[in-house]
Amino acid sequence: MKILVTGGAGFIGSHLVDALFDAGHEVAVIDDLSTGSQANLNPQADFHRIDITDYDATRA
C-alpha cells in the first residue's frame, strides 16, 4: 500500500515511517522540517519538503 505521512521527520512520524516500511508499505513523507530533522528521515522514503499550510505548494 502507498502511504503518505505528514511530519515524517519528527520523533513520532519517523518511527511511524520505519514501522510502515517494516510492514512492507511504500511511504512518502511531507515535512517542512520546522521541528523535525532530516537526519530522522528514513532514506527509503520519498521525501518532500513542503509546508502543508501553503496551498500553492501542495498543488504540485
Asked if 50 contacts 30 with a C-beta cutoff of 8 angstroms, the reply is yes
**What is the residue range of 40's domain?**
2-58
Query: What are the CB-based long-range contacts (under 8 Å, 24+) for 49-53?
Result: 52/6
Q: Report pTM.
A: 0.89
**Angstrom distance (rounded) from CA 56 to CA 17:** 25
pLDDT tens, 1-34? Answer: 999 999 999 999 999 999 999 999 999 999 999 9
Q: How many domains does the chain divide into?
A: 1
Is 55 or 32 the better-scoring residue by pLDDT?
32
